[in-house]
Structure 1
Amino acid sequence: MKLIIEANCLKGNGEETMYNKKSYAQSEGFIPAGMTAGDYLDQAVALAPNKTAIIFNDRQITYLQLYNLVNQLAESLLNLGIRHGDRVALLLPDGPEFIIASQAILKIGAVKVPLHINFRELELKFALLHSKARAIIMTSNIENFSFVDLIARLRSQFPTLEHVIVKGRTKAEMIPLRQLLAGDDDAKNLVEKYIHDHPVEPDDIAAIVYTSGTTGIPKGIVHTHNTIHRLAYSSNYMREVGDNEVWLGMLPLSSACGVIYVEPCPIISRSTLVLSESYAPEIVLKSIQQCKVTSPVGMPLFFIKILEHPNFFDYDITSVRNIYFCGAVAAKEILVELQNKFKCTLTITYGASEYGHATMTKLTDPLEVIHKISGKPIYGGVEVKIVNNNRRIVSHGEVGEIFVRSFGSALRYWRDPDRTESSFDECGWVRVHDLGFMDEQGNITVVGRTDDIIVRGGASIYPDEIESLLYAHPKVAEASIVGYPDYELGEKTCAFIIPKAGVTKITLEDIVSFLKNKIVGYKIPDKIKIVPSFPVTTSGIVQKYKLRETLTREVNGNIYRVK
């Protein structure tokens, strides 16, 4: 208490602690610790054995069936010699097998290493070597690409990889996944005996999530059972999730959001998760109608495409109570249209793979507030502060770097002490180089990343502000703003644009005309580039550094021209 008085803190509305006139906020409440993935699955099957846990196409799996399949695979992994702390990679598309394999790995105290289904030779080699995985559970192929052929060719380069378990076609010295899921009436007892002798603790490592993020340099982010499940619990609490929830997960189970929210949130609440092989708009609309989905989870772009689908009004979407955004900003016009058409609440979040959601809007927040902010610190005592270059807390409304201290913070980067030291400080604060500001109520607004700021003639430009406006342009499907070198101004701005379907032409004049009365002139892009797609991370976040590299190569040589 003495420290709070000396720090000149105030208690705001019984909800959060804030430094007077300083950009610091802490949420109220406490999230229970001490539960592992296995504990939550045991609880679900004890309380709701016949409840549907997973819906995938025409297949439905109850919690009891899921529990039995998890035990079968857990026993098979033990028989292969997989033990507590061993890393097991997962290279599977979204589907029941991913959840079964993930829960089996976690149940015996092994560590899952989820790999995105879009990974190819370079990314897979790095992750398997860096994690020192002892086994991989994988699909044989995705579309026309054969993972079986790739791993067979590369296998001799992985000294720790002892077992390759495959769903689908196998090759020599590979194990069919179906074989490991074959019935064994004693599997539960054998697994429980192993766990009794080798207890899984909440602070044990549960997952190493590989993400290249927006820097292009792979990172293995280390999360425990506690960090994952306390974050998921907090999310459920804030969104008032009950056991009647029906989720539609439109983010990969292999992504950080999938690991921290899409998989554990339904299990904790003993509710139902709908998965699909594709999240094309019409498939999503069919799933919402057929499964009575209440909580679709995804990035704004997914919902934009759904709104634009010509058959939107042919489907019954009245079951949806809350749309749960992860991973990106959305323009006010999009949020208004979503709320008008779905007639539901919206949840906006800000976070990072290193600490999950740091902030979240409340269900009671009005739309005029939601479209401006990413919410306050999530329930459970999470702290957020905005600091300057000297790491001192700035005043309300002042842009600075976002620092987070949370029960959900990762432990470190796997086998990467230098970057761990740079991002995780001795007081528990984590930085990922995001920029934002805080208002007097403790709401955070994210404006970009430290390496995304464009300084044009001495004036700072934050790309997120312009991008959110461009998403409302009638011809623009997606937009990304980056800087490029300029002899006179230092930097200028370029808008990379993906046109909407059917749009054949977008000009710089179109963009200038659209923005000129919305933002100050120096923020309006100096040029545009029309592209069919953006380079993105496994979570769908645009890798701006690749766009900058492309642009810089084009203008290089003209920067230092003789005047």
Structure 2
Amino acid sequence: MSVNKMLKRNLQLIPRILGANGLSSFVLIRRLSASITKTVEAHKFYPAYLHYVGKDPLVYRNVGQQLEKTVAEYGSTEAIVSCHEQKRYTFRSLIEEVDRVAAGLLKLGLKQGDHVGIWAPNNMHWYLTMLGAARAGLVSVAINSALQARELDYCLKKAKVKAVVMSETFKSQNFYEIMKSICPELPDSVDGRINSVNLPHLKHVIIDTPNRLKGALSFDDLLGLGNSDEREAIAQLQRYVMPDSGCNIQFTSGTTGKPKAALLSHYNFVNNGTHIGNRNQLDSNSRICVQVPLFHVYGVVITVMAAMTHGSTLVLPAAGFSPADSLKAIVDEKCTVIHGTPTMYVDLIKKQRELKLPLKTAKMAVTGGAPCSPQLFLDIKEVLGLDHVRTVYGLTETTAVIFQSRPGDNNERILNTVGHLQDHVEVKVVDAEGHIVQFGQPGELYVRGYATMLEYYDDPEKTKETMGNDKWLKTGDQFILEADGYGRIVGRLKEMIIRGGENIFPKEVEDFLNSHSKIIEAHVIGVPDERLGEECCAFVRLQDGVESITHEELKEFARGKIAHFKVPRFVIPIDQFPRTASGKIQKFKLAETYKQMQKEKA
């Protein structure tokens, strides 16, 4: 019955009420009033839209100006400690080194707005280059250190990278040899200037190494290129670097199977870092154990920018994630805060149960990058002996964080939500037709505000698909928003797999698997994994006469071709794929098949 009909029926009772007298009239009037109120309340629509203003205003400054402000306020405070490299910088000594990098990059002939790739693990030169590029008005391009030749080639071309700063080696990865395989002209380059047929935009390769490698400059060479006047001019340059201009490119995943290059601004970086740090109550006494990779938006914004805007210290335990090194760094460097993905905390907890180190100074853990189970939250707090566990939720396209735990949140909030809406951000939840739903109902989460990316670089079509003219950004996540500002993820509308914080898009893996001589057709899904959150599972149709293919075979086949984390952990042969009438693969049925197989094993 419509609300109008119900009200009409109630109004028809008025003559009866007026005909009554005394106490009965009073009673009937009260009952009628209550009935009307109940009817109206039952049919009210509370749209799932919020704009949380917060108490601290947004600021209009670039990353370089923010660094200057931090130096003025916290100059003698340690900015960063690299345990594995035995290097330390205060904020005051840091800006001197950063400006040497900035002057060196400009001396190479790079112009404001040019792109500088950083392809390295968590070494000091990553941090210095990112800030140096920002001070020079350049755009840093964050490249996953695990990428192989084909993937690196794509990233350098997509972002039109003009210079690359990289490590020489890391674990089994030889960066120089990989670079030579896609840029064969590198060893014959003169004076560090490259002319590549395959990579026409690339002009310079800078490597952090004491060795002389043909065609490349060393990082020390870069530091020595600019003279004192050129280094001092970097401070004057800051007024010409607009906060709204691009600062950093992050590669993210998409349904097409190819990474998209999300362009983020100085304004995004400075303000998201500020409000993240506010929520986490960072100050100049905070010392953050950095387990996450700096090339990820978690590392560069939630960690680097939040620390910089609050005068906090970053501690790099190792070039790559190492639970034992993290625990040792927490003890030796008296870390108060730990940053990591859920997978990292699983390993950290396991190692702490073994070593039982005295983590006396650690007070808070921040987790993000993938969903975290309630049990893991409890284990983090108990085993690591922490007072607080905070969660963050966001996307690369939103410069990291749009929901985050607040100080004083109780266990129910922390265990069952992704936190409260971030300051100065608008969100709404819509149904499949784009109509807004009510609070408490599931739908796709849209975001608008200062934190949304500028664009997918050089990809107006994909930008328009994700962010309309009204500037609402579609997250692709199925979400429930409550009226009090807290939210919950229900699921993902897109097929992307999040394996231990690493994004895997199935089509890329499927295309790779289909190139194997044993495989006719492959389709990849994400399946639950206790440690990693999700694991990569491939259903494959094999060539006639081939009975099986193993994970180890694929691992060997993938060597030097795709990153190790993209290799499917589970490989399941199948005779026929479930398809729709139009021929599309029904991946939900593959997930059901996997679930049934697990039940039968149990």
Distance 1:297 1:305, change over 3 A: same
Name the CA distance, whole Å, in 1 between partners of 2:491 and 2:256: 13
Q: How far does the alpha carbon of each residue in 1:14-44 deviate from its partner, in whole angstroms, 9 at most, with x for none?
A: xxxxx96322222122542211111111122
Amino acid at match of 1:23: A
The normalised TM-score by structure 1 is 0.77
1:161 and 2:202 correspond: yes
Amino acid across the alignment from 1:371:
L
Give the structure 2 partner of residue 40 of structure 1. Answer: 66
Aligned to 1:25: 50
**TM superposition shift of 1:67:** 1.0
- Matched with 1:517 is none
**Cα distance in structure 2, aligned partners of 1:397 and 1:220:** 33
Write the deviation string for residues 37-85 of structure 1: whole angstroms up to 9, x where unpaired: 1111112222222211111113221112211111111111111111210
Unaligned segments of structure 2, at least 5 residues: 1-43, 184-195, 507-523, 533-549, 581-602
Partner of 2:486: 443
Cα distance in 2 for residues equivalent to 1:495 and 1:209: 23
**Structure 2 Cα separation of the partners of residues 498 and 170 of structure 1:** 44
Distance in 2 between residues matched to 1:389 and 1:383, nearest whole Å: 20
2:437 alignment partner, SS class = coil
Residue pair 2:293, 2:320 contacting (<8 A) in 1 also: no
Equivalent in the alignment of 1:269: 310
For the pair 1:49 / 2:75, whether they are aligned, the reply is yes
The question of whether the paired residues in 1 share the 8 Å contact of 2:336 and 2:364 is answered with: yes
1:130 equivalent to 2:188? Answer no
Listed one character per residue, the Cα deviations across residues 415-443 of structure 1 (whole Å, up to 9, x for unaligned) are 11111111001111101311111234232
The alpha-carbon deviation at position 340 of structure 1 amounts to: 2.5
In 2, the alpha carbon distance for the partners of 1:313 and 1:144 equals: 27
Paired residue for 1:225? 266
SS for the counterpart of 2:574 is: helix
In structure 2, what is the Cα distance between the partners aligned to 1:244 and 1:312?
29
Structure 1 residues 396 and 531: CA distance shift in structure 2, 3 A = farther
Residue identity in the other structure for 1:154: I
- Mark the runs of 5 or more structure 1 residues left unpaired by the alignment: 1-18, 454-462, 472-477, 483-492, 502-529
The answer (yes or no) to whether the contact 1:36–1:225 under 8 Å persists in 2 is yes
CA shift, 1:547, in A, is 8.2
Q: 1:84 to 1:175 in 2, by over 3 A?
A: same
1:233/1:312 Cα in 2 relative to 1: closer, same or farther (>3 Å)? farther
Tell me whether 1:364 sits opposite 2:408 in the alignment.
Answer: yes
Q: Which residue of 1 aligns with 2:246?
A: 205
Q: What displacement does 1:111 show?
A: 0.7
Cα separation, 2, equivalents of 1:178 and 1:100:
12
Partner SS for 1:394:
coil
3-state SS in 1 of match to 2:140: strand
3-state DSSP of counterpart to 1:77: helix
Secondary structure of residue in 1 paired with 2:294: coil
- Judged with a 3 Å threshold, the aligned counterparts in structure 2 of structure 1 residues 368 and 205 are, in CA distance, closer, same or farther, namely same
Query: What amino acid maps onto 2:260 in structure 1?
Result: K
Give the Cα separation in 2 of the matches to 1:114 and 1:313.
34
SS in 1 for 2:182: helix
Q: Distance in 1 between matches of 2:470 and 2:528?
A: 41
Kept in 1, the 8 Å contact 2:481–2:487? The answer is: yes
CA offsets 1:445-500 (integer angstroms, 9 cap, x no match): 002211359xxxxxxxxx99xx9xxx9xxxxxx9x9x9xxxxxxxxxx99846577
2:404, 2:420 within 8 Å by CA — same for their partners in 1?
yes
User: Which residue, 443, 446, 461 being the options, matches 1:403?
Assistant: 446
- Distance in 1, matches of 2:76 and 2:494, equals 50
SS where residue 451 of structure 1 aligns?
Answer: coil
Q: Secondary structure at the match of 1:349?
A: strand
Greater alpha carbon shift after TM alignment, 280-289 vs 221-230: 280-289
2:367 aligned with 1:314, yes or no?
Answer: no
Contact 1:498 1:531 in 2 (8 A): no
Helix, strand or coil for the counterpart of 2:271? helix
Whole-Å Cα distance in 2 between the matches of residues 219 and 444 of structure 1?
Answer: 27
Distance 1:79 1:494, change over 3 A: closer
2:576 matched to 1:556?
yes
> 2:456 aligns to what?
413
Q: Which amino acid aligns with 1:161?
A: L
- 2:322 paired residue number: 280
Q: Give the counterpart letter for 1:361 in structure 2.
A: S
Q: CA deviation at 1:279?
A: 2.3
Alignment of 1:15-164 (within 5 A): 21-29=46-54, 30-57=56-83, 58-155=86-183, 156=196, 157-164=198-205
State the percentage of identical aligned residues: 22
Q: Which amino acid is the alignment partner of residue 406 of structure 1?
A: G
Please give the secondary structure, in 2, of the residue aligned with 1:433: strand
**Contact 1:295–1:322 under 8 Å retained in 2:** yes
Mapped to 2, the partners of 1:215 and 1:293 lie a distance apart of 41
Deviation at 1:134, TM superposition (A): 1.1
Superposition deviation, residue 116 in structure 1: 0.9
Alignment-mate amino acid for residue 136 of structure 2:
I
| Contact map agreement 1:111 1:205 (CA 8 A) in 2 | yes
> What does the per-residue CA deviation read over 1:79-131, in whole Å, with 9 as the maximum and x for residues that have no partner?
11112101111112112111111111110101111111011112111111111
| Cα contact 1:328–1:541 (8 A) shared by 2 | no
Contact residue 74 and residue 191 of structure 1 kept, 8 A:
yes
Q: Is 144-153 or 327-336 further displaced after alignment?
A: 144-153
Cα separation, partners in 2 of 1:162 and 1:387, compared to 1, 3 Å: same
User: 1:224/1:559 Cα in 2 relative to 1: closer, same or farther (>3 Å)?
Assistant: closer
CA change 1:418–1:46 in 2 (3 A) is same
**Secondary structure, counterpart of 1:253 in structure 2:** coil
DSSP-derived class of the 2:240 partner = coil
CA distance in 2, matches of 1:446, 1:330: 11
> Which residue is equivalent to 1:456?
none
Superposition pairs of residues 463-502 of structure 1, within 5 angstroms: 496=527
Task: Give the Cα separation in 2 of the matches to 1:226 and 1:60.
Answer: 28
Measure the CA separation in 1 of the matches of 2:578 and 2:201.
50
For residue 373 of structure 1, the aligned residue among 409, 413, 417 is 417
Distance between the aligned counterparts of 1:422 and 1:170, measured in 2? 46
The answer to which structure has the higher helix fraction is: 2
Equivalent residue number for residue 243 of structure 1: 284
What is the deviation of 1:314? 2.5
Q: Secondary structure at the match of 1:263?
A: helix
Relative to 1, partners in 2 of residues 1:171 and 1:132: Cα closer, same or farther, differing over 3 Å? same
- Which moves more between the two structures, 326-335 or 23-32? 23-32
Deviates more, 1:68-77 or 1:221-230: 68-77
Matches of 1:25 and 1:170 in 2, distance apart? Answer: 56
In terms of Rg, which structure is larger?
Answer: 2
Partner Cα distance (2:564, 2:282) in 1: 27
**Counterparts in 2 of 1:177 and 1:434: CA distance versus 1, 3 Å:** same
Cα distance change on mapping 1:414 and 1:499 into 2, 3 Å: closer
Distance in 1, matches of 2:247 and 2:282, equals 24
- C-alpha displacement of 1:184: 4.7
Across the two proteins, how many residue pairs are aligned to each other?
Answer: 473
Q: Distance in 2 between matches of 1:452 and 1:115?
A: 23
Counterpart CA distance in 2 for 1:23 and 1:531 is 45
Cα deviation code 1:161-211 (max 9, x no counterpart) = 111111124532211111122395444323335x16x71111111011112
Give the alignment's Cα RMSD to 1 decimal: 3.3
Alignment of 1:282-297 (within 5 A): 282-297=324-339
